């Protein structure tokens, strides 16, 4: 499923795709379920590397990966290293990630940096520069599956002006046709970023 969605995004001209794989809150789930999720992540990286290469996918993982088992950490770093020069699409996997965690990490980085010593006040750009997504554009579109109408601590800072698309389709059932429906909906939106509507 993920392979089809990544390939479809690449064909549609989408340059960045972020998937929320495991949140900081997911540790509250039963231990066997967490263990299964970790195992599936390792298997995905093992099985899908050739397809990532074929599609020109650059893989990046954001989140507190130091909390993951050693095998998974090594697999993540190896796959990131081996795909770093691919440039068709960047697949960003948010794993052990939370939007609040990301903002706190950014503030802490700023406080520990020389910028904190020279600047009297923190600015918006200081926080943005320290986020785990600092090297990429902010999301244009956020798709929330499963009938929920919340963003659940996902890219809280980055999604300030994202278009929000809610669908009843559960994530395991989310297919390329559902993706295309979301993209068609997005194409109807007039993005103003707080400004007045465009006049003709």
What are the tens digits of pLDDT across the range 186-195? 999 987 666 6
Query: Are 63 and 20 a contacting pair, CB within 8 Å?
Result: no
The crossing angle, in degrees rounded to 10, of helices 31-55 and 70-83 is 20
Q: Which helix (DSSP H) or strand (DSSP E) does residue 95 occupy?
A: strand 89-97
CATH number 3.40.1180.10 given to 1-97: yes
Query: Are 148 and 168 a contacting pair, CB within 8 Å?
Result: no
Residue 92 is predicted with a pLDDT of 95
Helices (H), 23-174: 31-55, 70-83, 99-112, 114-118, 124-130
Tokens at 162, concatenated: 């994202």
Listed by start position, the domains of the chain span: 1-97
Given a cut of 80, whether residue 24 has pLDDT beyond it is: no
State pLDDT tens for residues 153-192: 999 999 999 999 999 999 889 999 999 999 999 999 987 6
User: Which residues, other chains included, contact 96 with Cβ-Cβ below 8 Å and sequence gap of 6+?
Assistant: 22, 23, 24, 26, 27, 63, 64, 65, 67, 68
Residue 197 is predicted with a pLDDT of 63
Task: Give the mean pLDDT of 104-122.
Answer: 83
């Amino acid at each position: 499923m993920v392979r089809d969605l990544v390939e479809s995004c690449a064909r549609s001209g989408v340059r960045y795709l972020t998937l929320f794989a495991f949140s900081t809150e997911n540790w509250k789930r039963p231990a066997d379920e967490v263990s299964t999720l970790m195992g599936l992540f390792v298997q995905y990286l093992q099985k899908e590397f050739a397809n990532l290469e074929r599609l020109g996918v650059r893989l990046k993982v954001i989140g507190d990966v130091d909390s993951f088992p050693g095998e998974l950490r090594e697999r993540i770093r190896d796959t990131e290293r081996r795909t770093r020069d691919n440039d068709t699409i960047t697949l960003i996997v948010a794993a052990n990630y939370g939007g609040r965690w990301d903002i706190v990490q950014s503030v802490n980085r700023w406080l520990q940096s020389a910028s904190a010593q020279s600047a009297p006040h923190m600015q918006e750009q200081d926080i943005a520069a320290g986020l785990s997504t600092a090297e990429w554009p902010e999301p244009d579109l956020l798709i929330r599956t499963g009938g929920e109408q919340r963003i659940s601590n996902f890219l809280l800072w980055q999604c300030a002006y994202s278009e929000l698309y809610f669908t009843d389709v559960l994530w395991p059932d989310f297919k390329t046709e559902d993706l295309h429906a979301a993209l068609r909906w997005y194409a109807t939106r007039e993005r103003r970023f707080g400004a007045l509507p465009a006049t003709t």
